[in-house]
Structures are given as C-alpha cells and as structure tokens.
Amino acid sequence: MTIQVPSLQPTPTSSVNFTVQDWGPVTNSDLQHLSSQIFQSQQQLFNLDVDTGSFSRDKVKRFQFDLYVQKSGGSGAEHFHLYEDPVGVFVDYIAPIGISIKSAGNVDSGSLTGIPIHAQYEGDVFSRTGKGDPIPVELGISSQINIPIVSNLTNLQASINAVTISSATCTKCWQGQLTAAYDSTVQPGGASALILTVEPNTLYALYASAFAVDPHKSQDILTVYITSTPGQGGLPSLPQKVEIPVRFSPSFLFLASAVILGSLIGFGIRRLIPATAPDAAAPATGRFPRWARDLLLSIATAVIAEIFGLVLFNNTNTSVVFFGFSLDPSQVAPAFLVAILVAGGPAVVSKISEAIKI
C-alpha cells in the first residue's frame, strides 16, 4: 500500500510539502489505543484514521503525525508517518489535506480535515485594532494604556509567552520599567488587549514635546514586542513588533503656568513697542493704573483663548489657528506661544511676523 499527499499553498509565496514514511502494518489492538479521528475514502474502500495524539515535533522541529489506513472490512491497518515541510512565511491554520491511496490494484482518494498546518517562520499572529492616532499619556502620574489586539489565527488558539516594551525615540522620557498585562491565551480570531503601565519622566517629556505643535504627530513611539505560540504544535514566534505612538498631556498646573508666563511676556513686549499717537494720548481713568488694567486684561484674554482652544481641539480633534499659527493648545509650548500672541495683541504679532518674514 502506498499513499501520496499533495502540497498546500497557504499564500502565493509559501507552500507546505508532506513527507510520508511507511512504518509497516499494525493490528486492531494497536488501533484501540489511538486518539482517533476517522475518515472514509471517497469510494469507501479505505478507512483513514488520524491519531491526533501524535501531533508533535521531531528533533529538528518538524511537525509530525501518524495516519493509519485500513481496508474497509479488513483487519489491521498500515501505519504511515507524515512530516510537514513548510516553505515561506504564513500564519498557522487548520486545513483539510488531500490523500491518494493505492493498494492491490485499488485506487482511491480522500480528505483529512482538521489538520494543523504550521509555518517554520510564523507571520504576524496578532493585529492591532482601532485607530492609529497618538495616544495621550498624562504627565506626572502612572497611567495605563489599553491596546486592543485581535488574533490572526482563524481556528487555532494563541498563547502569549512574553511582552516587552521599549521607547523608540525618547528613552529618558519614561520612569521605571514599562510593563504590560495580557491574557495568556487568546481564542481563534478572538479579541484581547495589552494593558501597558507607563509613567512619564515629566521634565524630559516636557523637553521632548516642547516644539511638537502638530496635534497629529507623536512625541514618542512605544515599541511593543509580542512573543506567542500557536496551538496544536505551533512553534514560538519571533517577537512581533507593534508600534504605539503617544503624545504627552501636561497637567492643568503646567498649562496654567505656561499661559500666565506667556501673558506676562506678551504684555511686556507690547509695552516695549512704541505706542501709536491715539494710544499715547488716551487719559488714565479708573481705580487702577492703565498698565495694571492692560495686564489683567491680557491675562484674562489669554486664559479665555486657551480655554476656547482646548474645548475646540478636544471636541473636533483639529488644530486651532491663532493669528495664522496652527497650534495644539493642549501642549505647554503652544499654550505659552498662544498666550504671548494673545496678550501681545496685533502689535506683537506684527513684529514677530516681520522678524520671521511671514
């Protein structure tokens, strides 16, 4: 008796060949101790018995299993040992494999379903779901980032062995060790999540984000490496890289300080600019000196502009334009610059425009 198993093509650039070894005849008593999954050939000439308990790896890590072929109504069976020889990169899956049988002039064919097909070089076991926009991380506290993922294994479980995290662009922006919590087992095609625990180093993070005015650009990228193993005999994967862009979110205290300091500087610059004739001739009236009223008005206007900018930014997720500048008001440096422009008024904006040739 001989059998042949045609190759599979999981993807256009990969294939799986099968090596078949005939290990000789066995008795009916030998068949009673198997974890059997039994199929019948197309013309019902043979019974095909797959021993699922034999799913394993040999010394060189080839996936292997045993198949017993028995003539219908006959006694005993022929024992075949099959090896998978994968080529290329693909994601493990369960598939039917075809088989052709020749025995004493009888030719038949059949299909073995539920056979794990394993890659030597695993593709991406997981995909990140949701939007890829930068995730806000609040400064000054330890916080958690929820990263939703989904398994790309359609009919095999995946076991997550380890998750490591590193900073791609600003290692000093983080305090302590970046850690992750996760489900150790993910169901086929199932959703899961990585819970990252992070704590920014406030001073370094503020410096790194000082001039990041684009609200859609990340200020650091956390690189997450996931090592996993597909079920039913899969090999541990190489660490799969998932990049998580983040933006640092200053606390209210930092933003308030930036607005007040920017207001004072903007007001001071405006006072240094020579006043126009109508302004110079305006009489000083009221309880407070004119400069004090101007200072309070400058601070109040800058605060209102910052609050309005934050409300607009948070509700529309778009940049806010002040005097022609596109800024992210939730960051310290843009809030500081906005306060200078608003408190300084058109006179300061005009001077800055002339200086930088806008």
**Confidence at residue 266, expressed as pLDDT on a 0 to 100 scale:** 82
Categorize the per-residue pLDDT at 318 as very low, low, confident or very high, splitting at 50, 70 and 90: low
Q: Which of 47-56, 291-300, 346-355 has the lowest mean pLDDT?
A: 346-355
- CATH fold of the domain at 126-249: Immunoglobulin-like (2.60.40)
Instruction: Tell me the backbone φ, ψ of residue 208, rounded to 5 degrees.
Output: -65, -30
Q: Which of 157-161, 207-211, 350-354 has the lowest mean pLDDT?
A: 350-354
Residue type, 157: Q
Beta pairing, strands 121-122 & 89-90? parallel
For the chain, residues classed under CATH 2.60.40.10 are 126-249
Strand order in the sheet with 126-128: 126-128, 143-151, 191-198, 179-182
Residue type, 21: Q
> What's the whole-model pTM score?
0.76
Q: Which helix (H) or strand (E) holds 256?
A: helix 252-272
Average pLDDT over residues 286-294: 68
Q: Which of 164-173, 215-224, 307-316, 338-347 has the lowest mean pLDDT?
A: 307-316
Residue type, 251: S
**pLDDT exceeds cutoff 90 at 274:** no
Tell me the three state secondary structure of residue 356. Answer: helix
Average pLDDT, the chain: 85
What's the CA gap between 84 and 100, in Å, rounded?
17
**Confidence at residue 353, expressed as pLDDT on a 0 to 100 scale:** 65
Q: Helix 332-356 crosses helix 252-272 at what angle (to 10 degrees)?
A: 20
What's the CA gap between 316 and 301, in Å, rounded?
22
**pLDDT exceeds cutoff 80 at 306:** no
Average pLDDT over residues 303-310: 72
Cβ-Cβ contacts under 8 Å for 207 (sequence gap 6 or more): none
Question: Is pLDDT larger for residue 311 or for residue 255?
Answer: 255
Summarised one tens digit per residue, pLDDT across range 97-152 is 999 999 888 899 999 999 999 999 999 999 998 877 888 898 888 999 999 999 99
